Amino acid sequence: MNSTILLALALVLVLEGLGPMLYPRAWRKMIAAMTQLPDTILRRFGGGLVVAGFVIYYMLTKTIG
């Protein structure tokens, strides 16, 4: 279980790093645009990502065993 969490963290870091590495200008514009959004929108977006992550995790654990 511990190695699974570390593997997931490594994958998140790789995916998070692709944006600024490949498209730094577009990434910077996106971050600047996100700073203008109201807190409620950011909370909903973050909550949706958390729920999606739990659903994917649940699906993978049921599939893999």
pLDDT for 1 equals: 62
Helices (H), the chain: 2-22, 24-35, 39-64
Residue with token string 């807190």: 39
pLDDT tens-digit series, residues 26-65: 999 999 999 999 999 999 999 999 999 889 888 888 888 6
What pTM, to 2 d.p., does this model score? 0.71
For residues 3-23, average pLDDT: 91
